[in-house]
Amino acid sequence: QNVIQAIEKARRMVLARFLGALGIRYVGEVTAQLLADHFATLTDIMAAKKEDFLNVEGIGEQAAASLEDYFSDPSTRTMIQELLDEGVTILPPSDGEKPLAGRVFLFTGTLASMGRNEAKQIVKELGGQVVSGLSNRVTDLVAGEKAGSKLKKAKERGIRILREEEFLEMLGRA
């Protein structure tokens, strides 16, 4: 039953996650999110030309050219259509429901309930940012098992510390 639920969950994703999963050259998580924020739908992205991609703040020449090449390839279009036909669903953007907007998260230690990448993805989907190092921008440190020096430094700086249980509770309310 859990496997079936996991497969069904994996078939539903937001546009940014779908774009990231395609493995387009020069398109990582950040660029995928920029595209999803700028273009309303996958159809709009697939119809865009290099100039359209260059109009997206944060997307450069290489990524724009790569995107145009990728989406103009007939085999890409066929593959995407096959994914959609097989039940992959691109979820609409939540109508401004970004409860973690303005918050910057840093993870340290091991999370027992989910992988770190999954936790990061959830934070991003709820409007939060995730960074890899401690800086003045960090608003929340999520501390899993065996949290290291980041935890100590965050406490010294007065950053909000969330144990894994508190993080999960927050996601439940979000």
- Which CATH number fits the domain that encloses residue 26? 1.10.150.20
Same domain (yes/no): 50, 119? no
pLDDT at residue number 146: 92
Same domain (yes/no): 9, 84? yes
Quote the domain boundaries for residue 141.
104-173
Same domain (yes/no): 11, 86? yes
Sequence letter at residue 113: S
In the DSSP assignment, the letter for residue 94 is: P
% of the chain exceeding 70 in pLDDT = 93
Q: 91, 126, 157: which is the final residue of a domain? A: 91
Same domain (yes/no): 7, 87? yes
Sequence letter at residue 143: A
Structurally, how many domains does the chain consist of? 2
pLDDT at residue number 174: 43
Q: Is a pLDDT exceeding 70 seen at residue 47? A: yes
Other CB atoms within 10 A of residue 150 CB: 18
Q: Is a pLDDT exceeding 70 seen at residue 96? A: no
Same domain (yes/no): 119, 60? no
- Cβ neighbours of residue 45 closer than 8 Å, sequence gap 6 or more: 15, 19, 35, 39, 67, 71
* Model confidence, pTM: 0.54
pLDDT at residue number 94: 58
Q: Is a pLDDT exceeding 70 seen at residue 93? A: no
pLDDT at residue number 104: 94
Instruction: State the average pLDDT over residues 2-29.
Output: 84
Q: Is a pLDDT exceeding 70 seen at residue 31? A: yes
Instruction: State the average pLDDT over residues 120-148.
Output: 90
Which one, of 34, 30, 28, 29, lies nearest residue 52 by Cα? 34
Same domain (yes/no): 120, 153? yes
pLDDT at residue number 158: 94
Q: Which two tokens stand for residue 52?
A: 């359209």
